Amino acid sequence: MFDDLAELYQDVILEHSKRPRHGQRLACFDADAKGDNPMCGDRVQLFVRHAADGRIEDVGFEARGCAISVASADLMAEVLRGRTDEEARQMAEKFRELARTGKLAEGAAGAADEALETLQPLAGVHGYPSRVKCATLPWHALIAALQGRKEAGSE
């Protein structure tokens, strides 16, 4: 009955939404932000810890939301480890493009490339306009956290 939903709810997404690996508050963090989507009530609280060299060491989150937003937060936490803030920002840009169009922007390069492969299963949301914001919400929270803001709106 839901055959045509396989592109949106890929196994990877279902798996990460049911058993997120990073779905908890970090005991120790130096940046955090809340992402809220007031229209639908999705909320994600993000915690980021940087290592001494300035790279992101760990990311955790507490979310209440749909399968897409939880899986997106979990996959994001996975790909951010070891990145600089600048790389993280570039990834956020590219991910938003991927979620909106289903395609990667020209010139995706280097570290972002590999990461985007991990995020590729979320590309299916582009066919569901009302769900794109579910996937991008954790990334908005990330940008807010890196900028030292405590709150991020969604698109």
Give the binding site for another protein (CB under 8 A): 1-2, 4-5, 8-9, 14, 18, 39-43, 64-68, 128, 131, 134
Note the helical H segments in the chain.
Answer: 11-18, 67-80, 85-101, 111-119, 132-146
- Tokens 């940046």 locate to 31
Contact 125, 131 (CB under 8 A): yes
Task: Tell me the closest approach of the beta carbon of residue 140 to another protein, in angstroms.
Answer: 17
Task: Tell me the closest approach of the beta carbon of residue 121 to another protein, in angstroms.
Answer: 15
Q: Which is nearer to another protein, 9 or 29 (CB)?
A: 9
Task: Tell me the closest approach of the beta carbon of residue 2 to another protein, in angstroms.
Answer: 6
> How many Cβ atoms are within 10 Å of 77's Cβ, its own excluded?
24
Q: Which is nearer to another protein, 75 or 104 (CB)?
A: 75
Task: Tell me the closest approach of the beta carbon of residue 28 to another protein, in angstroms.
Answer: 28
Q: Which is nearer to another protein, 3 or 53 (CB)?
A: 3
Task: For 24, list phi and psi in degrees, rounded to 5.
Answer: -150, 155
Contact 65, 44 (CB under 8 A): yes
Q: Which is nearer to another protein, 4 or 114 (CB)?
A: 4
